[in-house]
């Protein structure tokens, strides 16, 4: 059933741990340490991580935001526990003056430097880089000499009985307790241990995620702004185009009206011309008819006069 479930689940599913996909889930990093968180409540599957890595090359899934929220919540809780541990130490340990506290802090800082250097030397040696490892060990000897001087100053600033008491300090990275008189082996085990290095990895990953999320959000904002400007530009272009179209339609409408008006004017002129032609023809016919009637009357008069003359002669 587990295999069938994994086959149905995609890496985009809400049940899948986005921190696991980005290889930064504290449940994985701190597994096997004294702060082992147990099994994560969300799905962890290397096959899903591989699917995500392939898909993320083609498109931005923005899972960094989910992972960042997860790590921020986890680190905030760890920092809260660190502050509580500091408060408990302040309540239980013998109160010392500010001057003595500063000298004790100097010893703690040198202890931390020694522990980090020893852990780095051991790592280089394990990787086969012996020369670099030897150089680191030489630096350790220099820091040890400084620590010896700082311890001497601290010892001379307080009674011997108080100096022998173990002064504890809370590690700012992993919340573990460190002793003022811890030996080099204990310091190396702490600063080179899986717990401390795991917390360093988580904190560095969180810083990286914050930077990535900020860059992607800025890019998204710029893309959103660019798209809005493009839409506004298209709208302005569309408005200008619409205005030009309206002007063209108005121009065509005016042109049609002018053509229609000219056509009507031509028709009127033709009609008036025809009317005048008919009137001229009518008047011409009228004059022709009058002349014909007058000619016939004259003929009749002349004929009658001639008849009268003939009749008179005969008479």
What does the alpha-carbon distance between residue 177 and residue 100 come to, in Å, rounded to a whole number?
20
What are the angstrom distances between the C-alpha of 27 and each of 62, 176, 183, 244, 255?
Answer: 21, 18, 30, 65, 80
Q: How confident is the model over 270-278, as a mean pLDDT? A: 73
Q: Are 158 and 96 in contact (CB under 8 A)?
A: yes
What does the alpha-carbon distance between residue 264 and residue 257 come to, in Å, rounded to a whole number?
10
pLDDT of residue 36: 92
What does the alpha-carbon distance between residue 174 and residue 77 come to, in Å, rounded to a whole number?
11
Q: How confident is the model over 156-172, as a mean pLDDT? A: 68
pLDDT of residue 258: 80
Is the pLDDT score of 161 beyond 60? no
Both tokens of residue 311?
């009749």
Both tokens of residue 39?
């099994």
Both tokens of residue 175?
């919340």
Q: Which of 115-129, 158-172, 183-197 has the lowest mean pLDDT?
A: 158-172
Is the pLDDT score of 13 beyond 80? yes
Q: Which neighbouring-strand residues pair with 42?
A: none
pLDDT of residue 220: 87
Q: Which of 2-6, 75-79, 246-250 has the lowest mean pLDDT?
A: 2-6
Q: Are 22 and 67 in contact (CB under 8 A)?
A: yes
> 0.75 cut: is pTM over it?
no
pLDDT of residue 28: 95
Is the pLDDT score of 91 beyond 80? no
pLDDT digits over 135-157, tens only?
988 998 898 888 888 878 877 77
What does the alpha-carbon distance between residue 198 and residue 200 come to, in Å, rounded to a whole number?
5
Among candidate residues 12, 56, 22, 2, the one with its CA nearest the CA of residue 204? 22
Position 1 confidence tier, pLDDT thresholds 50, 70, 90: very low
């Amino acid at each position: 059933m587990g295999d069938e479930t994994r086959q149905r689940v995609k890496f985009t599913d809400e049940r899948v741990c986005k921190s696991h996909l980005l290889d930064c889930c504290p449940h994985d990093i701190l597994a096997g340490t004294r702060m082992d968180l147990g099994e994560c409540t969300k799905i962890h599957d290397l096959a899903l991580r591989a699917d995500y890595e392939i898909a993320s090359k083609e498109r931005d899934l923005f899972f960094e935001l989910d992972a960042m929220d997860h790590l921020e919540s986890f680190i905030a809780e760890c920092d809260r526990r660190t502050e509580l541990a500091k408060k408990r130490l302040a309540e239980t340990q013998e109160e010392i003056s500010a001057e003595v506290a500063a000298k004790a802090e100097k010893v703690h800082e040198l202890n931390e430097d020694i522990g980090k250097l020893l852990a780095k030397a051991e790592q280089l040696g394990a990787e086969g880089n012996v020369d670099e490892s030897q150089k680191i060990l030489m630096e350790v000897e220099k820091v040890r000499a400084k620590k010896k001087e700082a311890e001497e100053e601290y010892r001379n600033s307080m009674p011997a009985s108080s100096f022998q008491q173990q002064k504890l300090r809370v590690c700012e990275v992993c919340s573990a307790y460190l002793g003022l008189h811890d030996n080099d082996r204990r310091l190396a085990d702490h600063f080179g241990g899986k717990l401390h290095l795991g917390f360093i990895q988580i904190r560095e990953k969180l810083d990286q995620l914050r930077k990535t999320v900020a860059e992607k959000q800025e890019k998204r904002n710029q893309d959103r702004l660019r798209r809005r400007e493009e839409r506004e530009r298209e709208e302005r272009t569309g408005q200008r185009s619409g205005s030009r179209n309206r002007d063209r339609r108005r121009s065509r409408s005016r042109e049609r009206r002018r053509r229609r008006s000219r056509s009507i004017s031509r028709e009127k002129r033709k009609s008036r011309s025809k009317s005048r032609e008919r009137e001229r023809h009518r008047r011409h016919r009228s004059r022709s008819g009058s002349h014909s009637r007058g000619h016939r009357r004259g003929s009749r008069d002349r004929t009658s006069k001639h008849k009268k003359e003939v009749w008179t002669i005969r008479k």
